[in-house]
Structure 1
Amino acid sequence: MLNIAQRIFGSTNTRLVKSLYKIVNQINAIEHEFQILSDESLKNKTIEFKEQLNNGKTLDDILVPAFAVVREASKRILNMRHFDVQLIGGIVLHKGMISEMKTGEGKTLVATLAAYLNALEGKGVHVVTVNDYLAKRDADWMGELYNSLGITVGCILSDTNDLDRKKAYNCDIVYSTNNNLGFDYLRDNMKFSRNEMVQRGFNYAIVDEVDLILIDEARTPLIISGQVDQDIKMYNKIDKLIYELSEEDYELEEKHRNIFLTECGITKIENLLIQHKLISSNTSLYDIDNMIIMHYITQALRAHKIFSLDKDYIIKDGNIIIIDEFTGRMMDGRRYSDGLHQAIEAKEKLNVNNENQTLASITFQNYFRMYKKLSGMTGTAETESEELLGIYNLQVVQIPTNTPVQRIDLNDDIYCTEEEKFDAIIKFISECHKKLQPVLVGTISIEKSEILSKLLTKNKLKHSVLNARYHEQEAYIIAQAGIPGTITIATNMAGRGTDIQLGGNLKMLAKTTLANILDKEIISIKYKQLVEKVNKDKEIAIQAGGLCVIGTERHESRRIDNQLRGRSGRQGDPGLSKFFLSLEDDLLRIFGSDKIKGMLKKLGMKKGEAIQHTWISRAIEKAQHKVELRNYDIRKSLLKFDNVINEQRKVVFDQRNRILDNDSYNISLIYRDINSDIVNNIIHDKYYNLDDETYKLISSEITRIYSITLDYNTISELESKNKLIEHINN
C-alpha cells in the first residue's frame, strides 16, 4: 500500500524537495536585479537586511533576497554561481535540517547561504568542521565572500590563544572543529571571571560531516582532566609480567574490545605478583587491598592485546598520539583514560606520565543540543536518519545532484587470505596505471597503508602515501591525486572533505609551482601553461575512466565505505570503485566469518580465486549492520548516563554563571557556608571531645574532600568544630 502511495505522490523527501523549488524559482526570478548592482551597493544590502530584521521582519521573510545576494557575491568573488540544488541545500540548512549531498556537489558553498542569512541577526553562527585543516581552508576561502558583504569571519584552531578565540567568537561567523567548540565550553565553565570566557552563546550551528560528528564521534565524551598522584612505576612493573602470560591465561572478546583473565591466568598472575613482591603471599588478587593491582593488570592486558601501534595510535616525539578511527587523523592532546594511556606508554617503553582525573566532561549529543537551531551537511546520513531524528530532532533531506552520478561501483572481490587479496589489488592497480587512470587506494590503518606501499615499491609502481605520519603533505598529495597515472594510498584521511579533481587541483598546483617566482609576467605565462596542462590532463583522466577508488577492507560503518567511494565521480565526472576483501579482514573475521566461510565453501572457492556473489555482499552488509547496531547501543547508553550528569551540569554551571554575573554575591561567604555544612556532616557530635581513631577518620575524610593534608593531631588540637571550620577557611 505504501509503495503504491509513493509511486503516485512521491516519497516524503521528493515532495519536500519539490516544494522548495518554489522558493528557488523566486530567487532565480530576482537574480538580474542584483547583477546590475555595484559591489558597494551589493554590500549595503547587508545593512538593509539588518534594518528589516530590526523592524520586525523574520529571517524567512528576507531569505529570497539574501540568498540572491550571496549567489551574486559568490559569482564576483569566487567565480562560482550556486546551482539550484545548492540553493535547496541552503534552504534545508536554514530550516534546521540535514542536507545530504553527494561528493563534489559543493557543500562548502552551500553553507554560505544559511550562514550569511542567520548571521544577519548578530547572534553568531558556528560552522563546524572535522579538523583544523578544513576549518582554516573554509574560513580563508569563504571568508572572501563574507567580507565582501560586510560580514565578519573568525577561525578557531587547536593552537589559537584565548584572546584570539574571544575575538573569533565575537565575529558574525566562526569556523572551528567540534572538539575546539566543546572544549571551549568546558573551559569557560572553569574560568573565574566572565571576562576570561571566550564563547558568547549557542545560536545556530551548521555541522559539516554531520554523521561523523553527531554519530561516530558521539561514542567518546569530551573530557578535561588534571593529573593525580599515583604510583606510576607500577605500570612498568606490571607490564613486564604480561609477557609471561600465554593465550590460555586470558579470554579476548574482539567484538566488544574486552579482555578477562581465565582461572588459569588468575593463578599464574597471582604467583608472579608474589614472586616479584608486588603483593604479599598470604593475600589474593581480589582482596580489597589489591584491587588497584587488578586495575593495572586489566589495562596492561588491553594495551598489549587490544590496542595496536600504527592502527590505534602512533609514537611521535616520544609520545603516544591517538589516531581517530573514523578520520585517520592524529588527535593531539587527547589521552586514553583510566590508566590505559599509561599502560600503552609502559608497553612501548616510553616515559610513563601521571594518570588523569576528570575535571569536566560533556558528550557531543548534549553539547550540540544546546544550540537554539542546529543543521548539518554530509554525503552519507540516510542510514542513520532514525538516530539523527530521535536524538537531535534533525530530519535528513536528500538533495538531488546537479548532474547525474557517472561512477560505476563494481562488485566486491573476496579472497581467502590477505596475501591473495593484496596480490589482486597490486594487479588491478597496475592495469589502471598502464592506461593512465588515476588511482586512490583506501586502507583502514597506517599499518596497512605501509604494507601496501612496500608491495607497490616492490612492483616498481611509483605512488604517494597519505596517513597520519605524513599529514603535513596532505594538501599537496590530494592536489595531485587526480593527475593521470597517479597512485595514492590513503587512510580514512582522504575519505571526508577531500575534493580530488581530475587533472589536478589548479589552485593548489599553482600555489606550489609558482610560489618562488617574483616576476609577474613570468607568473602569468607559467599560470597559462599550467591551466592548459591541467585541462589536458583532465581529458586524459576522463578518457581513462576517471578516478578509480579501491577499498582494501570494509569499515565497521557502511557510511565510511560510501565516503571513500564518493571521492570518485564528482559533478558528473566518470569514475570507478571496487572493494577487495579477505576472510582475514577484521570485519569478516570478527563479525561474519563462519557464515561467510560456509557460503564460500558451497560456492567452491579455491586458493587464489576471487568470489563475487550477492549472498556474500548481503552477508557483509549484515555484519556491518550488526556493528552499527552495537555502536548505536553504546551511544544510547552513554547518552542515558550523561543525561543525568547533564542536568547536574546545567544547574552547577548556571549557578556559577549567576555568581560571576552578580557583584553582590560574596563568594568568600558562600565558601564559608559550604565548609561549615561539610564539617557538620562529618562530625555529628555536639562536642568535639573524640578518640584518636575518630580523629584519624575525620582527617582522612577532609583530605579526600579538600585535597589538603590535615593530620589528626592538628585536628584534635583545634578543640572545637568552629575552630576546625576556621582552619579550613584560612
Structure 2
Amino acid sequence: MLGIGTLAKKVFGTPNDRKVKASRPLVAKINALEEEFRALSDDQLRAKTEEFKKRAAEGESLDDMLPEAFANCREGARRAIGLRAYDVQLLGGIFLHQGNIAEMKTGEGKTLVATFPAYLNALSGKGVHVVTVNDYLAKRDAEWMSKVYGFLGLTTGVVHPGQDDMSKKQAYRCDITYATNNELGFDYLRDNMKSDLADLYQREHNFAIVDEVDSILIDEARTPLIISGPSQDRSDLYLAIDKLIPSLPEDAYTIDEKQRSVTFTEEGNEALEQLLHANGLLEEGATLYDPESTTIVHHVNQALRAHKLFLKDQQYIVRNGEVVLIDEFTGRMMSGRRLSEGLHQAIEAKEGVQIQPENVTLAQVTFQNYFRLYNRLSGMTGTAMTEAEEFQEIYGLGVVEVPTNRPIARKDEDDAIYRTAREKYEAIVEEIKVAHAKGQPVLVGTTSIEKSELLSQLLTQAGLPHNVLNARHHEQEAQIVAEAGKLGAITIATNMAGRGTDIKLGGNVEMKVMEALAANPEVHPDTLREKIEAEHAAAEAAVKEAGGLFVLATERHESRRIDNQLRGRSGRQGDPGRSSFFLSLEDDLMRIFGSDRLDKVLSGLGMKEGEAIVHPWVNKSLERAQAKVEGRNFDMRKNVLKFDDVMNDQRKLIFKQRREIMETTDVAEIAQDMRYEVIEDLVTKYMPPKTYADQWDTEGLKAACREQLGVDVPVDEWAAEEGVDDEHIIERLEQATDAAMAEKAAAFGDDNMRLIEKQILLQTIDGKWRDHLLRMEHLRSVIGFRGYAQRDPLNEYKNEAFGMFEALLDGLREEVTTTLARVRPMTEEERQAQIALLQQQMAAQQQQVDAAVHEAEAALIEEPAEAPAGRLPGFDENDPSTWGNPARNAPCPCGSGKKFKHCHGEIA
C-alpha cells in the first residue's frame, strides 16, 4: 500500500519535478531561436553581444534577454569549441541564473553549462566570478571556455597564486573571471588592508557561479580564511612539552572520536602537574588552575591533540621537512594552510621538523560570510540534495536536480559488511581479480593515504598492476585519471570529491593525442587524431562489453554526499557501470556509530569466516547513521557561523569605513569629527555634568589637552569666568584645535596634510582592528564556560563583543586625534639626521647581505677539514708513493676530482 507522501508525489509530482517542468517553456524558446542564430555570421554573433549590453544598460532585465542570450551563447560554443549544449544543459544554466544550485551528474558537462549564465550576467558590465576548487581547474576551464567568450566578444581572466599585481587587477576587470575560492577570499582580505583605491584587486561582488559547490560552501567552510603575520618564537616550549605527552598513562586523558576531542582526566591533570614541575615548566607551588598557568595549559592541550587526534598520512603528511595538511574530502595537499592557535607548531614538534613561528591574525573571514557578499550566488555539483537544508538556511540557495541527458545505466549494489577489516580486504582483492580478469576497469575509493597504500601492497602481492592517486602522487593526477577507464585498469584513489575528473571509458582521447604529438611532432595532428579516435572507439566498445567502470569503495564516509560523488564517477552519459561498498565492523564510521548492535545481529546469524551480510535494510540503517552525523556537523557549522556573524557585522562596518576613507579625497572633516568627540569626552571626564565649578578638575583637563590635543590653553582661566559652562569650554577647545590644525596644514601644504590624515586614519584603523581580532579570539575560546553558569554563551559573546567594539571605536578616535596632534614638519637638522640614519641602516643591511653571500659561496667551495699536504719534490700524480700524507677531505692527488677518502684513500 502506498503512503500518503508517495501517493501525493505520484499525483502532483515532487517540488523538483515542478521546477524542471516550469523551466521547459524557456528551453523551448531558446530552441525556437536556434535556426535564426545559426544563420548569423561570426561578426553578427559578436554584434549581438554589443546589442545585449546596450539593452541591459538601458534598463532591460537580464531575465527578459535570457532566451536570446542563451541561443547566442549556444551557437558561439558550437562554432568555437564544437560543442552544442543539450536541453538539460540549458536547464542547468537557467537554474544557475536564477540563483540556485544545479545538481548535475558527473559527465553531464557542467563546465559548458556555466558559460550560459556567465555570458548573460556579464552583459551588465559588473563582472562574473566562476569559482573552482583548485588552480588547475581554474586555469583549465578559463583556457577552454575563453574560446567561447572571446568568440562572442567578451574578455576572460584567471586569478592564481603568485600572480603579479598588474595581471591580477586585469583578470578581475575582465567580463568573466575564473578563480579558486581561497584566492577570492584572500584577495578580498588583501583589498581591505590596502590604503589606495588604485591598488585594489576586486570590483563589486555581482554574480558568482561556484563549481563543486558542496565542497566549497560546506566542506571547506569549516575553516576560516586567515591572513596572519609572525609573532614571538616559542619553539623551545613546544619541544619541551612535546616530550611529556608520550610518558602520560592512558588513563590520563579521554578521547571522544565522535566530537574529535581529547581532554585530560582528573588523574591526568595531577600526573601532568608533576611532570611539569619535574621539568621546570611550572613553578614550584603553582598549579594548572592558576591564571598564570593559562599559556602552559593551552600548549599542553594542543600537544595532546597533536598526538592523539592528528595522525600522520591521514590528517597530514611530512614532505620536504614540512608538515602539510591533507584535505579530508579530496585527499589533496593543502600547501600553505596552517592550523591556528599553536596546533600546527605542536604537530611540527611531534614530527621533529623545524617549528615555524606562531602567527598573529591580521584579517579573517569565513567562506559563508564571503560568499554572502555577492548580489546573486549560484552553484553546481553532482551531489547537493543531501545538504539542501544547509544551502537554503545559510546561503538562501535552492537545490534543483537536473535530469540526465541519457538514463543512468549504472548498477548500484547493496553494501557488503564483514566482521573484520582483514576479511573485508581479502574480499576486495578477490573482487578486483574477477573484474580485472574480464578487462573491467576498477576505481577503488579509500578514505586515507595510509589505507590506499595498504591496499596497494595487497594488490602488489596478488600480482595485480595498478595506479595510486593520493596526496603523495598528486603530480601524476591528470595522467592517472586519463588511464583509469582503460581496459583492465586498476586505480586506487583517495576521495575523488572536487577533482574535476571525468573518467572516460577506453581512456582519454585528448590525453592520447597530446602524448602522440609529443612523441611524433612531425606527423600532422589531424592524421594522429583520426587514428587515435578509431583505436579509442574499439577500446571503448571493449570496456562497455566488460561492464563499464566498476567503482569499489572500501569504506563509507561520514557524509553520504562523498559516497555519492565516488559512485558518480561511473555511469557517465548513459555508460554502463557498477558500484559496490565493502565495509567491516572495524571501519571508523561503523566502530564509532553503532557497530555493537550490528555485531550482535551478525553474531546471531552465525556468520562464517569471510562471509558478508548484504541487504537493503543494512544500507538504510547506514544512511540513517550518516544522516545523523551530517545533522550534527551542520549544527556545529551553524553554531560557528552564529558566532562569526557577530564578528562579521563589525568587519563589514570597519571595511566600509576604510573604503569610504579611501574614496574620499579630503578626510579633514572625518578627523575633525573624531577630534570633537574626543574633546567632548575629555570635558565630560574632567568637568562632569551637573557639578559646580569648584568641583571641576581644570588642571587635569589642561594637561590632557596638551597630551591628547597638542594645544596649551588656559582652561583654568576660562573656567573662572562668570557664566562659563562645559558647552563654552568645548566650543573654545574646538576653535583652538581647529586653529592648530590649520597652522599645520599651512606648514605642510594642504595636499600633504590631507595625505597624512588619510594614512594616519587607515593605519590606526588597521592596528586597532588587529588588536580587536586577537581579543575576540581569546573571548571566543573561553566564552563556552559561561554555559556552566546557566548563561547562554552566544548572548554573552554578543554583549561582550559589542562592548569591545565600542572600546575599539573610542580608542580609534583618541589615537587618531593624538597622532595628528603630534605630527609636525621636520627641521633641516632632523631631516639630515634621518637621512644619515637611513644610510647607516642601508650600509648595515648591505654588510649582512655581503656576509650571507660570502657564507653561501664558502659553503659551495667546501674547505678540506685538514690542511692539504704540500706537494713533495718528485711528486707524480700516477705514483701514490710520491704523494706524502694527503688529508682525508682534500682533493685526491690523482686528479679525479673526488675527495681523497672517496678515491685512493678509501678504506676497504
TM > 0.5? yes
* Bigger mean CA offset, 260-269 vs 104-113: 260-269
Corresponding position: 1:273 with 2:279: no
Change (3 A) 1:671 1:545: farther
Greater CA drift, 13-22 or 428-437: 13-22
CA distance in 1, matches of 2:322, 2:678: 45
Q: CA deviation at 1:617?
A: 1.9
Amino acid at match of 2:564: N
SS of 1:451's partner is helix
Q: Which residue of 2 aligns with 1:649?
A: 651
Q: Deviations over 1:174-225 (max 9, x none)?
A: 1111111111111110111111110001100111111221122222111112
| Larger RCO (CA under 8 A, 6+ residues apart) | 1
Tell me how far apart the structure 1 counterparts of residues 619 and 404 of structure 2 sit (CA, whole Å).
26
Report the Cα distance in structure 2 between the residues aligned to 1:677 and 1:552, rounded to whole angstroms. Answer: 70
Whether the 8 Å CA contact 2:484–2:491 is kept in 1: the answer is yes
Structure 2 residue runs without a partner (length 5+):
687-696, 702-766, 772-813, 824-908
Residues 133/678 of structure 1: CA separation in 2 closer, same or farther (3 Å cut)? farther
Match runs of 1:65-144 below 5 Å: 65-144=68-147
- Note the 1:692-707 alignment, pairs <5 A: none
CA deviations 1:682-719 (Å, max 9, x no partner) are x9897679xxxxxxxxxxxxxx98999xxxxxxxxxxx
Q: Does the alignment pair 1:443 with 2:446?
A: yes
Tell me the distance in 1 between the aligned counterparts of 2:568 and 2:8: 31
Equivalent residue, structure 1, for 2:636: 634
Distance in structure 2 (CA, Å) of the matches to 1:448 and 1:688: 72
Deviation larger for 643-652 or 670-679:
670-679
Q: CA–CA distance in 2 between the matches of 1:223 and 1:705?
A: 17
One-letter code aligned to 2:221: A
Q: Which moved more, 1:439-448 or 1:11-20?
A: 11-20
Match of 1:593 among 595, 613, 619: 595
Shift of 1:105: 0.9
Asked if the contact 1:596/1:616 (under 8 Å) is kept, the reply is no
Alignment partners' CA distance in 2, 1:510 and 1:678: 76
Work out whether 1:621 is the aligned partner of 2:623.
yes
**Which stretch of structure 1 is more off in the superposition, 669-678 or 362-371?**
669-678
The corresponding residue for 1:311 is 314
Matches within 5 A, 1:317-356: 317-356=320-359
| Pairwise CA distance, 1:725 | 4.9
Deviates more, 1:475-484 or 1:604-613: 604-613
Q: Report the 3-state secondary structure (helix = DSSP H, G, I; strand = E; otherwise coil) of the residue aligned with 2:209.
A: strand
Structure 2 distance, partners of 1:382, 1:656, is 40
Change (3 A) 1:677 1:80: farther
CA contact (8 A) 1:329 1:493 kept: no
Contact kept in structure 1, 2:506 and 2:543, CA below 8 Å? yes
Note the C-alpha offset of 1:230: 4.4
- Which residue pairs with 1:546 in the alignment? 548
Aligned mates of 1:106, 1:667 — CA distance in 2? 55
- 1:335 partner SS: coil
Is 1:199 the counterpart of 2:202? The answer is yes
Q: Distance in 2 between matches of 1:417 and 1:512?
A: 44
The change in CA–CA distance for 1:188 and 1:582 in structure 2 (over 3 A counts) is same
Aligned to 1:701: none
- For residue 679 of structure 1, report the CA deviation from its aligned partner: 12
Deviation, structure 1 residue 438: 0.7
The 1-side partners of 2:310 and 2:471 are apart by: 17
**RMSD over aligned Cα atoms:** 2.6
Give the structure 1 partner of residue 779 of structure 2: none
Q: Could you tell me how far 1:26 is from its partner in structure 2?
A: 1.2
Whether the aligned pair in 1 keeps the contact of 2:212 and 2:498 (CA below 8 Å) is no
Name the SS of the counterpart of 1:539 in structure 2: helix
Q: Any stretches of 5+ residues in structure 1 without a counterpart?
A: 690-703, 709-720
Q: What CA deviation, in whole Å up to 9, does each residue of 1:57-86 have, x standing for no partner?
A: 211121111111111121112211111111
Helix, strand or coil for the counterpart of 2:636?
helix
8 Å Cα contact 2:517-2:523 kept in structure 1: no
Stretch moving more, 153-162 or 469-478 = 153-162
Asked whether the 8 Å contact 2:215–2:498 carries over to 1, the reply is: no
Q: CA deviation at 1:524?
A: 3.8
Distance 1:361 1:128 in 2: 19
Which residue of the other structure, out of 244, 247, 254, is the alignment partner of 2:247?
244
1:467/1:493 contact within 8 Å kept: no
Picking from 459, 463, 466, the partner of 1:463 is 466
| Matched position secondary structure for 1:223 | strand
Which residue of the partner structure matches residue 211 of structure 2?
A: 208
The amino acid that maps onto 2:157 is G
How many angstroms apart in 1 are the aligned matches of 2:605 and 2:679?
75
Answer with 1 or 2: which has the greater Rg. Answer: 2
1:514 is paired with a residue whose SS is helix
1:431-466 CA-to-partner distances (Å, cap 9, x unmatched) read 111111111111111111111111111111111111
TM-score by length of 2: 0.74
Counterpart of 1:15 in structure 2 is 18
Structure 2 CA distance for partners of 1:40 and 1:288, relative to 1, 3 Å: same
Match for residue 608 of structure 2 among 565, 584, 606: 606
SS in 1 for 2:337: coil
1:671 Cα deviation after fit? 12
Mark the CA change 1:434 to 1:677 in structure 2 (over 3 Å): closer, same or farther: farther
1:479 lines up with 2:482 in the alignment: yes
Contact 1:219 1:634 (8 Å CA) reproduced: no
CA distance in structure 2 between the partners assigned to 1:169 and 1:225 by the alignment? 24
- Alignment partners' CA distance in 1, 2:770 and 2:49: 55
1:496: Cα distance to partner? 4.3
Structure 1 counterpart of 2:521: 518
**CA–CA separation in structure 1 for the residues paired with 2:650 and 2:304:** 35
- Aligned equivalents of 1:663 and 1:363: distance in 2? 32
Counterpart contact for 2:345–2:357, Cα < 8 Å: yes
Residue 136 of structure 1 aligns with an amino acid whose one-letter code is K
